[in-house]
């Protein structure tokens, strides 16, 4: 090997290390901002008439899903349907894994025993939205309106219509906010909440760019990287928020964050589709996403059934979460096997 080639190789190794270090740093920034975000959300909930579930499913879920927003825009702009779809579906599967993992960590609290059965209604809505995505993958239509596929328009309409109806009909479970001693005013909490949300969005945007570079470096492809690495990184805010919620015994809030984030993430397919100018996003996405999609349908059903059974799971409250963890790990193995072949 010549000196020139050796220097080039050393330079590539150095660049790779920088990419991984930056990725880890931005992930840490995202977690820190998410912890602050959760605290400000508690203050906002205390000073308004907002229910615990609504705060988790809409306010916090929307803010913690901001990295997915920037990821979807970026993926659409760089014409990567696999990165966009993989991030959305992978984030949703990872979110359910997070809920299960944190529930196992606090298994003595028996989360599903304390979660209100009313949480099953928005969980069912989330399952229906996922089924629409599955149907879109089967049909793979190129019909669109304003640059967005008709299937994604249906998801967007059901999401906003469903959340509005559930809130107006008082179908969402209530839960008191965590006792937080603060001198912050409502205005101050909202301003800080927005700042934390913007930090999460900025960090998540750059995580997407770095993830795309890691996909090239590792050779694992955008489907695998989008479904696992980027999905996991952009879901870090949910990890922090769910952990804090269960630590404070805010069971409905913890479930609400995950259910709300998963529903919100699905409408981001429309955001990505808007910036993806080649055709329709789902039509051009790889069939490998069926692995994540089927896993997501199964894991969501498990969570839905666990919420519905509620106190009937008193003796085996750990079983749904253990099953979700096993299902997610199996999905990961299958995705890896598909990517390396």
The DSSP line for 37-52 is HHHHHHHHHHTS---H
Local confidence band at 328 (pLDDT 50, 70, 90 cut-offs)? very high
Local confidence band at 13 (pLDDT 50, 70, 90 cut-offs)? very low
pLDDT in tens, 47-72: 776 665 566 566 776 777 777 777 77
- 248-260 mean pLDDT: 84
Q: Give dist(CA 111, CA 113) in Å, integer.
A: 5
SS3 state of residue 177: coil
Q: For residue 6, what pLDDT is reported?
A: 41
What tokens appear for 268 in the block? 């981001």
Please work out, in degrees rounded to the nearest 5, the angle formed at the alpha carbon of residue 201 by the alpha carbons of 199 and 202. 65
- 5-13 mean pLDDT: 42
Local confidence band at 182 (pLDDT 50, 70, 90 cut-offs)? low
Going from N- to C-terminal start, the domains of the chain cover 3-340
Residue 218: CB atoms within 10 A of its CB come to: 13
For the entire predicted model, the pTM comes to 0.77
pLDDT at 263 > cutoff 70: yes
The CATH code that applies to domain 3-340 is 1.20.1420.30
SS3 state of residue 258: helix
Residue whose pair of structure tokens reads 């259910």 in the numeric block: 259
pLDDT in tens, 288-324: 778 888 999 999 999 999 998 888 888 888 899 999 9
């Amino acid at each position: 090997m010549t000196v020139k080639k050796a220097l080039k190789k050393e330079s590539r190794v150095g660049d790779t290390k920088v990419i991984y270090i930056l990725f880890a740093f931005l992930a840490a920034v995202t977690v820190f901002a998410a912890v602050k975000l959760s605290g400000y959300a508690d203050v906002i909930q205390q000073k308004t008439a907002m229910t615990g579930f609504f705060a988790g499913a809409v306010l916090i879920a929307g803010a913690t899903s901001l990295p997915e927003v920037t990821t979807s825009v970026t993926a659409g702009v760089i014409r990567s349907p696999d990165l966009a779809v993989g991030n959305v579906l992978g984030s949703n599967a990872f979110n359910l894994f997070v809920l299960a993992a944190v529930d196992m960590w606090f298994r003595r609290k028996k989360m599903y025993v304390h979660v209100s059965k009313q949480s099953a209604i928005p969980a069912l809505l989330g399952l229906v939205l996922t089924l629409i995505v599955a149907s879109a993958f089967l049909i793979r239509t190129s019909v669109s309106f304003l640059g967005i596929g008709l299937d994604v328009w249906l998801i967007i309409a059901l999401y906003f219509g469903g959340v509005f109806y559930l809130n107006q009909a008082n179908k969402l479970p209530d839960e008191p906010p965590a006792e937080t001693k603060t001198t912050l005013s409502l205005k101050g909490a909202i301003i800080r909440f927005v700042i934390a949300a913007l930090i999460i969005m900025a960090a998540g945007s750059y995580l997407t760019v770095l993830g795309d570079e890691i996909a090239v470096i590792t050779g694992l492809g955008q489907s695998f990287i989008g479904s696992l690495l980027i999905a996991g990184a952009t879901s870090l805010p949910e990890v922090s928020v769910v952990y804090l919620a269960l630590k404070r015994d805010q069971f409905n809030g913890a479930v609400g964050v995950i259910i709300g984030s998963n529903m919100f993430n699905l409408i981001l397919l429309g955001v990505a589709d808007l910036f993806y100018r080649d055709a329709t996003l789902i039509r051009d996405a790889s069939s490998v996403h069926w692995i994540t999609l089927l896993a997501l349908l199964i894991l969501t059903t498990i969570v839905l059934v666990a919420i519905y059974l509620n106190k009937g799971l008193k003796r085996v409250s750990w079983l749904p979460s253990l099953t979700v963890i096993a299902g997610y790990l199996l999905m990961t193995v299958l995705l890896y096997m598909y990517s390396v072949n």
